[in-house]
Amino acid sequence: MFLFLSKLLPLFLYPLGLACLLMIVALVMWWMRSRWVPVPIALALIVLLLGSNGLVADGLVRSLEWQQIPVGELPKADAIVILGGATKSAFPPRPGVELNEGGDRVLYGAQLYREGKAPVVIASGGRIDWRGGGPSESADMAEILKTLGVPDSAILQDPTSLNTYQNAVNVRQIVKERGIRRVLLVTSAMHMPRSLRIFQRQEIDAIPAPTDFQVTEQDIKEPLSSTQATVLNFLPDAERLEKTTRALKEYIGLVIYRLRGWL
Task: Tell me the sheet residues that pair with 211.
Answer: 188
Q: What is the mean pLDDT of residues 39-48?
A: 97
Tens of pLDDT, residue by residue over 64-122, are: 999 999 999 999 999 999 999 999 988 899 999 999 999 999 999 999 999 999 999 99
Residue 167 has pLDDT above 90, yes or no: yes
**Cα–Cα distance, 89 to 104 (Å, whole number):** 16
**Cα–Cα distance, 229 to 206 (Å, whole number):** 40
Instruction: Provide the CA 23 distance to its chain's centre, in angstroms.
Output: 28
Q: How far is CA 153 from CA 65, 108, 149, 157, in A?
A: 33, 19, 11, 11
Whole-number pLDDT of residue 135: 86
Which sequence spans correspond to the domains of the chain? 2-66+216-259, 79-211
Q: What is the mean pLDDT of residues 237-244?
A: 96
* Global confidence as pTM: 0.92
**Cα–Cα distance, 220 to 188 (Å, whole number):** 19
79-211 folds as: Rossmann fold (3.40.50)
Helix or strand or coil: residue 210?
strand
